[in-house]
Amino acid sequence: MIVTAPLGPSFPLTPCADVAELIAENAADAIFVMDAEGRITFANPAAERIFGWPRGEMVGQVLHDLLHHHHPDGRPYPRHECPVAQAYRTGETLAGHEDVFFRKDGSAVSVSCSNAPLVGSGTVIGSILTVQDVSERKRAEIALRESEAFLRSVLNSSPDCVKVVDLDGHLVFMNGPGLCVMEIDDFSCIQNKAWADLWPVEAGERINLAVAEARQGRTTRFSAFCPTAKGTPRWWEVAVSPVMGAEGQVVSVLSVSRDVTEKKRQEDALEAALARNADILESINDYYYALDPEWRFTAVNRKVEERTGKCRNEIIGRLLWDVFPKAAPAAAYGDQPGPADERRVLNREVFSSELGIWVEATVYRDHRGTEVYFRDISKRKAIEQALIDREARFRTLAEAIPQLVWSARPDGSCDYLNPRWVEFTGVPEEHHHGLRWLEVVHPEDRPRTAKAWENFIAGRSAYDVDYRLRSRMGVYRWFQARAVIQHDQDGRATRIFGTSTDITDKKDVEEQQLLMARELHHRVKNTLATVQAVISATARKATTTDEFYQAVTDRIVSLSRTHTLLVNNEWGGATVTDIFRSELAPYNDESSSRIILDGPPVQLSSELALALGMAAHELTTNAAKYGALSLPDGCIQVRWSVVREQDAWLTLEWVEQDGPPVEEPTRKGFGSVLLERVLGRQVSGEVKVEFAPDGLRVRVRAPLTSSHEPSEPDTVVPDASWSQ
């Protein structure tokens, strides 16, 4: 029998299409209807809410291009690779596919998709895509994975052996570092085995007791010996604790075992060391005693027994001042002890009126009391006083003499500098202690000075070296340094004493003598080369003896004028202005407009001055005979400047104007050859001659910084003059 119940008020029946639309409009998941091309023909309100696109903007758009256009990492997602589209492409149903779509604002949303084809008349005409926002679920999954990973990381980051044991004492879990420290290659070999079976028999009962205590909710700690799986001996500190379930019941047991083998070894070593120390304290010649916080003896050594004439049993427990009536008061042993983990050490050298000797005492104080070591240092104090007296005598002598006096250790670090050093350098003595004294040594002299010191300390040579020191004014002066070594009884160098004497004047004289000898040789050679070239070239051009005599005389007079300029300047060179003014002054008019000299003051070396002087003479003579100076209205301009490239270069231009017409000669004249000889070859310069119709132009370029040795005179073939 079928029993029915009233359905209540009747509702009008709705066509299937209306029901489907009603469901879609109220569904929590996004629902899309797409045609066979993947274009959206319908989207429900959930689609608007999830993806941020108004339905009116989504309809007509290809869903892949709108929501699935690229991968999460930014790579484009080609439409033909999209698995969501397979329903309307192949007619296959897609169910539970997880992917990432993108909202209108570009943000990503994790989704789960189901896409079913729509078939009409046996043909796929579109598909229905249901999209569920699974972002929260994904975040929860990620958080769970991160939590599990964090727990694994915590367990695996602990150097201890962490184990989980069931309530029957069988192994369930062991962390990675635990497997390593236990030297277990594969946990499955011991999984579900009784934990107590891994321990020696004598420790098994303790293990079972600890598990039983954990089942009762109590934590147990103990230390025990247990070798690893491979037999390596180990000592362990073990903590066994209950693991509580959600209902508060014990569900398993957690064990944390820490390898304390090294700690155990150190404790054993400490115990042995304490025993050895006790033996040492009995054998040393120093006094030793220990006091409790109330200043009562707790330990003494043999020397204290000898000094007091009492055995230690008579001393232990008595106050310090009962045994040593003249001992220093409590305040002399330092402040009150600090925290329990702080131990204070006090070192003192005092004269003991009770013993009548100097003693060196070391006092150790902490919350447990005071320990005192002291020894007789009377002989050492006498030696130290003698050293102090000798040091005082040395300083008195060192501060009185005019030289720079210093002392240093074998490594070259300075420990004393007399007042002369401070007066010279302008720097306080302590600033140059250690190796900082090298700061005032000229950088070029430091390697040589260091090498001399190395040879001196090694005993290969005496220390006698010249170097430059920077004065307080920033000027370097030459000093001669000499030193002697103080050795200890084993022959090792312990300290070096030395002086540095100012020899700048001596160095200047030596340098000046050498410079004068080189300069004389250089200038005589240069001058003779120039004279030889002039005579040789003039001899080939002159047709008569008188002509030869006059030409040579004129050129030597020009050379003499340049020499006069150099001598007047103490062979420090001559200026461009002086050279050309000397040659051209006779041709200037009253208005000084016929000769124009324009350029900065340039001091030339003696070599360049001689060469330029010869060139000026040749140019002036040529201009007077054939050029601008041969006519009343002719004028000459000489302009020069200094060009700085890698080096400084003199550039000079000779320009003639308002002279007779100029024609370029068919062959190179004597003047051109002579200019090239004295400027081009002797001083590495460059000469360019231009026979412009309105007047001769000569451009000269020569280095200012380099010095040049004159080359051997070449043969100069006489030829026509400038204008020929």
pLDDT in tens, 41-85: 999 999 999 999 999 999 999 999 899 888 888 899 898 888 887
User: In whole angstroms, what separates CA 452 from the centre of its chain?
Assistant: 31
pLDDT at res. 637: 94
Q: What predicted TM-score, i.e. pTM, was given to this entire model?
A: 0.32
pLDDT in tens, 172-227: 888 888 888 889 988 888 889 999 898 998 888 899 999 999 999 999 999 999 99
CB 536 within 8 Å of CB 712:
no
CB 439 within 8 Å of CB 432:
yes
> Which has more confidence, 526 or 331?
331
pLDDT at res. 167: 92
- Fill in the amino acid letter for 218: R
Torsion of the alpha carbons at 97, 102, 107 and 111, rounded to the nearest 10 = -20
Question: Confidence class of residue 723 from pLDDT cuts 50, 70 and 90?
Answer: very low
The DSSP symbol for 158 reads: -
Question: Confidence class of residue 253 from pLDDT cuts 50, 70 and 90?
Answer: very high
Question: Confidence class of residue 12 from pLDDT cuts 50, 70 and 90?
Answer: very low
How far is the first Cα of the chain from the last one, in angstroms, to the nearest whole number?
A: 150
Closest listed residue to residue 540, CA positions, set 723, 720, 710: 720
What are the structural domain ranges in the chain? 25-139, 158-264, 284-380, 393-502, 523-703
Closest listed residue to residue 26, CA positions, set 48, 6, 44: 44
CA distance 77 to 21: 32
Class of domain 393-502: alpha beta
**Is pLDDT of 554 > 60?**
yes
Closest listed residue to residue 41, CA positions, set 59, 21, 24: 59
> Which has more confidence, 689 or 157?
689
> Which has more confidence, 709 or 672?
672
* 432-436, 521-525, 632-636: least confidently modelled range: 521-525
Does domain 158-264 correspond to CATH entry 3.30.450.20? yes
CA distance 290 to 281: 12
- Fill in the amino acid letter for 609: A
pLDDT at res. 25: 82
Written in H, E and C, the secondary structure of 674-708 is HHHHHHHHCCCCEEEEEEECCEEEEEEEEECCCCC
CB 565 within 8 Å of CB 582:
yes
Which residue in the block uniquely carries the two structure tokens 């007791």?
209
CATH number of 284-380: 3.30.450.20
CA distance 630 to 118: 116
pLDDT in tens, 130-152: 998 888 888 877 777 777 677 67
CB 687 within 8 Å of CB 675:
yes
Does domain 25-139 correspond to CATH entry 3.40.50.300? no
CA distance 704 to 688: 18
pLDDT at res. 721: 33
> Which has more confidence, 282 or 294?
294
Mean pLDDT of the chain, nearest integer: 80
CATH number of 523-703: 3.30.565.10
pLDDT at res. 356: 76
* 47-51, 438-442, 535-539, 601-605: least confidently modelled range: 535-539
pLDDT in tens, 634-690: 999 999 999 988 888 999 999 999 999 888 887 766 567 777 777 776 678 888 989
Q: How far is CA 468 from CA 135, 410, 449, 514, 696, in A?
A: 79, 22, 10, 19, 54
For the beta carbon of residue 336, count every other beta carbon within 10 angstroms: 11
The tokens of 421 are what? 């050093």
| Neighbouring residues of 273: CB distance < 8 A, sequence distance ≥ 6 | none
CB 470 within 8 Å of CB 425:
yes
Which residue in the block uniquely carries the two structure tokens 């407009």?
593
DSSP string, 344-392: EEEEEEEEETTTTEEEEEEEEEETTEEEEEEEE-HHHHHHHHHHHHHHH
**Is pLDDT of 473 > 80?**
yes
**Is pLDDT of 600 > 90?**
yes
| Neighbouring residues of 229: CB distance < 8 A, sequence distance ≥ 6 | 182, 183, 184, 185, 190
CA distance 604 to 610: 9
Domains 25-139 and 158-264 share a fold: yes
Closest listed residue to residue 424, CA positions, set 404, 400, 445: 404
**Helix or strand or coil: residue 545?**
helix
